[in-house]
Structure 1
């Protein structure tokens, strides 16, 4: 068994993080910088030069990052971003499932074509390791749980279909061109900096804002929740472990909780245990698209690099509640964030 990478293993390594302005990407960027890596962070170009969640990093950390504003769908820009990098963490993706019902072509362009651009650039430039980010949504509703890496893939939304396509491309580049790509498949990650479109900050924001009830989609789905620093540790370990190349590795807790029970727990953590929790029809997925159970089998992560999550659920939720309290302007509880 290869143990998880120590922080010093990243000292001086030249790394690209795509999607660095996102929730997980910003935490990964921060961890790499603190581990001594030379980090190039790619964030999506906007006319405002928006840094996304990188704005939350300590200025000392952020100032040490080479930030480039680009677009994952531009192959020329991606080749420049990948140049002179030892390792690539590819996280850039459109991830909001409800929006994938509205604009599926944009998910193919970003998630499939964007991944192709990263893989082709890495192939041409001889990158020594690529970590491609998958998602537990590719499994669809569990045919059995816990769900190991051999579980069938079921595209129950345009988002999950685009990620299955991206995963298949990553696998094909390993098999066809010997590109050293490892696929990491996180289950539901949560923590500070996550946007209001995700269920945990949505619940926390409504509780903190003093509303008389919590409005959600279906309360029945079961999710496996991992705190973001544990997920980031998984990313670094997958990148450092030769046994992960050409393979997929689940990252999750191995325990599930129903959304309704999760909402009650968050309300309790926020000091409002008596809040009513109701299903809002506007937030419910189409019946055949809802994924009802996602629970990870993590034997491979334990065998390959000794990974186990360390953060108890209640502890992690308390950190989210505190973050929401510190940044109320980022959470519009009166508007459903698609």
Structure 2
């Protein structure tokens, strides 16, 4: 197809899913190797026709050194990747944040500006600003993906679904607020949209929400986990307000521009995670998870 994709962060959770998808479609790709903060490293990939920039730091310790390291990697790395793409007339695809202004109505469409309340969200806000400069003044084309709560089998702790499931397995569940709502999008659907975008010609840089368009409250997620594992536990609701109490994507643009719709329902996606988790850690299956045996037989 004349496409060779440079993927930064190819070994990450989203990057691994994307590269598997590209492999299945016969699309050539190469992993970025080196420090994204060093612009000279990108010169080794001159034969690539597009760049998917997924590399970045998500969560770090609260000390100054760690936080500034996050800012360096996420902002300087994004600048270097976008610069490399723009200078070589390459399409550019960037994994951004769905950190929309919580005072705005939901579902959120792409016309709503993302905001920031942490070094991480500020780094994504800054990244989008830098990319807009390359688009406006140097004709950068491609897409900015505003990814909502991605989930799926094999995801590390530090995210909503694996953290809640770990609590259920431990027998003690405590949450900030049971009424908080999130838009969960399955990892395979995310990879499919990204791969579609990579193979789609772009004459501009577009911003696209990557979500399911549906919401689940934390309470609803726990109820489904209890049903899947056969375990019912008391839940401590600390009643704390989160930075984003309600998050939901308007995915009209993705449907219209890329002819993409999510295929994996939340029920099916969560069942696949629970099944994967207990297959990997069978010792967590005990007398409190009697319902799980039936799940494994599906």
Q: Secondary structure at the match of 1:164?
A: helix
Alpha carbons 1:204, 1:320 under 8 Å: kept: no
The aligned residue for residue 38 of structure 2 is 74
Shift in Å, 1:263 = 1.9
Instruction: Call closer, same or farther: CA 1:38–1:243 in 2, change over 3 Å.
Output: closer
Shift in Å, 1:19 = 0.9
The aligned residue for residue 50 of structure 2 is 87
Alpha carbons 2:5, 2:29 under 8 Å: kept: yes
Question: Where in structure 2 are the equivalents of 1:233-312 lying within 5 Å?
Answer: 233-242=192-201, 245-272=204-231, 274-279=232-237, 290-312=243-265
Structure 1 unaligned residues grouped into runs of 5+:
1-10, 43-67, 332-338
CA distance in 1, matches of 2:258, 2:140: 21
Alignment TM-score, normalising by the size of structure 2: 0.86
Question: Where in structure 2 are the equivalents of 1:164-243 lying within 5 Å?
Answer: 164-207=125-168, 209=169, 211-242=170-201
The aligned residue for residue 119 of structure 1 is 82
CA distance in 1, matches of 2:115, 2:95: 17
CA distance in 2, matches of 1:28, 1:314: 22
The aligned residue for residue 22 of structure 1 is 12
Shift in Å, 1:75 = 1.5
Q: Does 1:321 pair with 2:279?
A: no
The aligned residue for residue 289 of structure 2 is none
Structure 2 unaligned residues grouped into runs of 5+:
285-298
Match of 2:3 among 6, 10, 13: 13
Q: Does 1:143 pair with 2:104?
A: yes
Shift in Å, 1:280 = 6.6
Q: Secondary structure at the match of 1:247?
A: strand
Alignment TM-score, normalising by the size of structure 1: 0.77
Instruction: Call closer, same or farther: CA 1:85–1:230 in 2, change over 3 Å.
Output: same
CA distance in 2, matches of 1:114, 1:123: 14
RMSD between aligned residues: 2.4
Match of 1:109 among 51, 54, 72: 72
Q: Secondary structure at the match of 1:179?
A: coil
Q: Could you give the per-residue CA deviations for residues 62-94 of structure 1, whole angstroms, max 9, x where no partner exists?
A: xxxxxx3x22222222332x3211121111111
Match of 2:96 among 119, 123, 134: 134
CA distance in 1, matches of 2:272, 2:31: 25
Greater shift, 211-220 or 156-165, is seen at 211-220
The number of equivalent residue pairs is: 282
Alpha carbons 1:222, 1:259 under 8 Å: kept: yes
Instruction: Call closer, same or farther: CA 1:30–1:294 in 2, change over 3 Å.
Output: same
Q: Could you give the per-residue CA deviations for residues 20-55 of structure 1, whole angstroms, max 9, x where no partner exists?
A: 11111110011111211222123xxxxxxxxxxxxx
Alpha carbons 2:98, 2:114 under 8 Å: kept: no
Alpha carbons 2:21, 2:195 under 8 Å: kept: no
CA distance in 2, matches of 1:169, 1:322: 41
Q: Segments of 4+ in structure 1 off by > 4 A?
A: 98-102
CA distance in 1, matches of 2:8, 2:89: 17
Alpha carbons 2:141, 2:202 under 8 Å: kept: no
